[in-house]
């Protein structure tokens, strides 16, 4: 699984292409769950494909999103395993008797390395098509949950609290790695920020009832949690694909 330089050269082109295609196909289908309750309206290049309300822009944007975030997982998994192994090796060279204050600092460091290695190894070992499909189903279900709550008029802070709890449980069950948590947090902040820029600069879409408004454009304050829990599915898809290639 470790993504060393030869592996990257051999696997990366196919990996990125497949992740892009996955994002351009599966991504709009998941995104369309919110479109069914008119959470947002697409203003540029709108498309109606049966029950799917989307935009031609969405295919390319979600393809790029899947390829970019997906590529982070094999790279960060390999880095986590290398750093963890190196830290454990260095700790093994240090004598407990002569450690002084440094010896007291080794225990939390070793515990952190242990979690990093164990969580990453577990996530990588269970990554396969079946686990990825299950993760996809859960993410689709969580999107459906957010849509039902929105359509029912549940206050946004309550939707946010429900989705935050679901997102934490989803990460714990389907990822559990510190690098996965960091990427989920990054997506939860970065993706909505990117949406605001796209709405402001290009006017691609708009949300019907935003409560978080910046520079005249906005989105519901619970949307970041959707990106947070989305990331676990990308983790499983990326890890399973990397192992297969």
Task: Say yes or no to pLDDT of 75 above 50.
Answer: yes
- Work out the average pLDDT over 25-35: 96
Q: Full-prediction pTM beyond 0.85?
A: yes
Residues 23 and 231: beta-carbon distance below 8 Å: no
How many angstroms separate the first and last alpha carbons of the chain? 10
Query: What pLDDT band is residue 88 in, cutting at 50, 70 and 90?
Result: very low
Query: In the structure encoding, which two tokens stand for residue 205, read together?
Result: 């879409």
User: At what angle are helices 223-244 and 56-93 packed, to 10 degrees?
Assistant: 70
Residue-wise pLDDT for 104-151, tens only, equals 555 555 656 788 899 999 999 999 999 999 999 999 999 999 999 999
Residues 96 and 211: beta-carbon distance below 8 Å: no
Across the chain, what does the average pLDDT equal?
89
Query: In the structure encoding, which two tokens stand for residue 168, read together?
Result: 């934490």
CA dihedral sign, ordered 33, 36, 41, 43: positive
SS3 218: strand
116, 120, 176, 221, 234 from 159: Cα distances, Å:
31, 31, 23, 9, 23
203: left (phi over 0), alpha (psi -120 to 50) or beta: left
Q: Which is more confident, 140 or 93?
A: 140
């Amino acid at each position: 699984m470790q993504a060393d330089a030869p592996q990257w050269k051999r696997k990366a082109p196919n990996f990125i292409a497949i992740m892009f295609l996955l994002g351009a196909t599966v991504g709009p289908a998941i995104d369309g769950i919110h479109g069914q309750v008119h959470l947002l309206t697409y203003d540029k290049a709108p498309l109606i494909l049966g029950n799917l309300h989307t935009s031609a822009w969405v295919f390319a944007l979600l393809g790029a999103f899947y390829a970019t975030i997906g590529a982070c997982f094999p790279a960060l998994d390999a880095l986590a395993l290398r750093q963890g192994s190196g830290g454990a090796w260095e700790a093994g060279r240090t004598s407990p008797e002569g450690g002084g204050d440094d010896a007291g600092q080794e225990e939390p460091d070793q515990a952190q390395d242990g979690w990093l290695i164990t969580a990453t190894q577990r996530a990588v070992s269970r990554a396969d098509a079946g686990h990825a499909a299950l993760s996809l189903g859960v993410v689709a279900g969580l999107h459906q949950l957010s849509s039902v709550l929105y359509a029912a008029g549940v206050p946004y802070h309550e939707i946010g609290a429900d989705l935050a709890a679901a997102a934490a449980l989803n990460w714990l069950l389907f990822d559990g790695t510190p690098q996965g948590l960091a990427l989920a947090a990054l997506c939860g902040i970065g993706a909505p920020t990117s949406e605001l820029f796209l709405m402001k600069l290009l006017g691609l879409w708009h949300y019907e009832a935003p409560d978080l408004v910046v520079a005249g454009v906005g989105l519901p304050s619970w949307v970041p949690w959707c990106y947070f829990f989305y990331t676990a599915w990308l983790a499983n898809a990326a890890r399973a694909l990397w192992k297969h290639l």
